[in-house]
Structure 1
Amino acid sequence: MILEAVMLHVKQGTQEEYEQAFREASVIISSMKGYISHELHRCIEEEGKYLLLVKWESFEDHTIGFRQSSEYEKWKELLHHFYDPFPIVEHFNKVKL
């Protein structure tokens, strides 16, 4: 399992609209092969800042299976115009302690 982590900065004044669009987009991502779960968190200290965490079975399920799919095109259409600046997506493996 890998964790996709994305710090999102949503344009001021569009947060409510963004959250509604994200609810719609959630149906898309949750239908993808290799998807496990996702969470969207709203920052307490900074208005318009969000943290998206998505668990995938593998790195390729996200980078190839989702990102190269027609479903991703719909995801982009729903969400990408809200971001400023455009987010950096990072992937993590859990450290065994």
Structure 2
Amino acid sequence: MILEVAILTVKEGQEKQFEADFAIAGEYISSIKGYIKHSLRKCLEQKNQYLLLVDWEKLEDHTIGFRQSSQYLEWKRLLHHYYDPFPTVEHYETIIENINE
């Protein structure tokens, strides 16, 4: 499994509309083959900063499957105009995981 991580800085004053549009955009990303789950987390210290976490089966599910899809065009249309600066997206693989159940 691959974890996609992006820190999203949203233009100040547009946070509520971004959150509403992100809820819609989630339908597009979740329809892609290899998608597992995603979450959007809001920073407590900086009200216009968010953390996007997306789990994919393989890196290519994101970099090719999603980014070369018509769903990505809708994602981009809904969300990309909110960012300043445009986010850097990075991918991580799990080395150690400890779950306390």
Give me the TM-score of the superposition, normalised by structure 1.
0.98
Deviation at 1:96, TM superposition (A): 3.1
Confirm or deny that 1:38 pairs with 2:57.
no
RMSD: 0.8
Matches within 5 A, 1:6-17: 6-17=6-17
Identity of aligned residues (%): 57
Matches within 5 A, 1:1-97: 1-96=1-96
Partners of 1:56 and 1:71 in 2: how far apart? 16
The one-character-per-residue Cα deviations of 1:26-74 (angstroms, maximum 9, x if unpaired) are: 0111111000000000000011000000000000000000001111000
Q: How many positions carry a matched residue from both structures?
A: 97
SS of the equivalent of 2:77 reads: helix
Deviation at 1:5, TM superposition (A): 0.3
Partners of 2:14 and 2:81 in 1: how far apart? 10
Partners of 1:96 and 1:5 in 2: how far apart? 17
Partners of 1:31 and 1:70 in 2: how far apart? 11
- Long gaps (5+) in structure 2: none
SS of the equivalent of 2:76 reads: helix
